């Protein structure tokens, strides 16, 4: 519930930022920017799954090609009360996984060959459950909404900076929108950065929620914590393909190990914090009614 409320709050702040920036430029610019963002992101919502799978050379595997993986996905999908997603395999050495699909009926779970080689069965269950949690929580839809508003902020900011440059000679007293040229320019510079940080905050919040939901699906939060730690180490030592645009989809950041100010722009929470929260869940008794998996396993 805490992560759900955080997501709603961040979306509200992002929307407020868009309205404020639109006010700095004038009401006529806001609908145009929002329409452009909606068109772009609706296209991404419907076709991004195909694009990202193609970018990573993922191929769909049948039950006969990967019977154990299919059985695991099917079992956990039943626990999560989800339709059986399509299963894809990426021939990549770095251990990682992601889920996509605009709704549960279009769900896809994709794993790398490196993931299958690194994790034991219990840890793999935890990772698959995490990815199913993203599908169950409709995180693809939420990320699309956040991206739409953030993109609109960026478009309006660019228009505001251009308009301010053209109207630089206008005095503050002549301003029709209540903002001086300097104020409008500062807002236009800061707004896209703020929108990006808020969008990334939403992404990190959804990762925490997917960890918790995934732990409830598998009934084994300790296994997911161990898997995350292994995947983090793998990402730090095995280079990822140079595709930063898709980094936010994966269960761990493919470009782990980046230090300094760039951590502000991380799409993932720190693995240490994710593992700590999962182990706190593992301390709860398995008879807790909040656990949804029929056969919870701890420790």
Task: Give the tens place of pLDDT for each residue, 193-214.
Answer: 666 666 666 777 889 999 999 9
Name the residue among 289, 253, 1 with its Cα closest to residue 137. 1
Q: Which residues are catalytic?
A: 131
pLDDT tens digits, residue range 229-286? 999 999 989 988 777 767 778 999 888 755 544 455 567 889 999 999 999 998 876 5
Structurally, how many domains does the chain consist of? 1
Q: Which residues contact 40 (CB under 8 A, 6 or more apart)?
A: 148, 151
Q: Please determine, for residue 182, whether its predicted confidence score (pLDDT) is greater than 90.
A: no
Kindly give the interhelix angle for 221-237 and 121-136, rounded to the nearest 10 degrees.
100
Q: Is residue 82 part of a domain?
A: yes
Length of the chain: 299
Q: Is residue 250 part of a domain?
A: yes
Q: Is residue 50 part of a domain?
A: yes
pLDDT at site 46:
74
Q: Is residue 292 part of a domain?
A: no
pLDDT tens digits, residue range 50-105? 878 888 899 999 999 999 999 999 999 999 999 999 999 999 999 999 998 878 99
Domain that holds residue 173: 2-282
The H or E element containing residue 60 is strand 59-60
In 10 A of CB 290, how many CB atoms? 7
Q: Is residue 150 part of a domain?
A: yes
For tokens 């409830």, the residue is 216
Provide φ and ψ at 60, rounded to 5°.
-75, 135
Q: Is residue 287 part of a domain?
A: no
| pLDDT band at residue 290 under the 50/70/90 scheme | very low
Q: Is residue 207 part of a domain?
A: yes
pLDDT at site 54:
87
Q: Which residues contact 108 (CB under 8 A, 6 or more apart)?
A: 49, 53, 85, 86, 87, 88, 99, 100, 101
Q: Is residue 59 part of a domain?
A: yes
Q: Say how far apart CA 135 and CA 5 lie, in whole Å.
A: 19
């Amino acid at each position: 519930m805490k992560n759900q409320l955080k997501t709603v709050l961040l979306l509200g702040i992002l929307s407020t930022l868009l309205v404020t920036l639109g006010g700095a430029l004038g009401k006529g610019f806001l609908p145009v920017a929002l329409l452009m963002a909606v068109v772009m992101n609706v296209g991404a919502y419907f076709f991004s799954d195909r694009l990202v799978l193609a970018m990573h050379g993922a191929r769909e595997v049948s039950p006969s090609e990967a019977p154990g993986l299919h059985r695991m996905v099917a079992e956990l999908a039943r626990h999560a009360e989800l339709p059986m997603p399509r299963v894809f395999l990426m021939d990549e050495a770095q251990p990682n996984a992601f889920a996509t699909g605009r709704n549960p009926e279009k769900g896809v779970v994709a794993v790398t060959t490196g993931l299958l080689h690194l994790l034991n069965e219990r840890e793999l269950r935890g990772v698959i459950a995490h990815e199913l949690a993203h599908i169950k929580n409709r995180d693809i839809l939420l990320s699309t909404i956040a991206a739409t508003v953030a993109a609109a902020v960026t478009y309006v900011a660019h228009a505001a900076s251009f308009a301010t440059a053209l109207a630089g000679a206008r005095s503050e007293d002549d301003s029709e929108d209540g903002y001086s040229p300097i104020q409008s320019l500062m807002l236009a510079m800061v707004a896209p950065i703020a929108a990006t940080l808020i969008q990334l905050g939403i992404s990190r919040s959804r990762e925490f929620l997917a960890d918790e939901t995934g732990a409830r699906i598998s009934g084994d939060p300790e296994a997911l914590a161990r898997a995350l730690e292994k995947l983090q180490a793998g990402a730090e030592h095995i280079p990822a393909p140079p595709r930063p645009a898709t980094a936010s989809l994966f269960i761990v950041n493919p470009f782990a190990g980046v230090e300094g100010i760039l951590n502000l722009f991380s799409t993932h929470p720190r693995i240490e914090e994710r593992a700590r929260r999962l182990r706190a869940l593992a301390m709860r008794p398995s008879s807790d009614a909040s656990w949804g998996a029929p056969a919870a396993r701890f420790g």
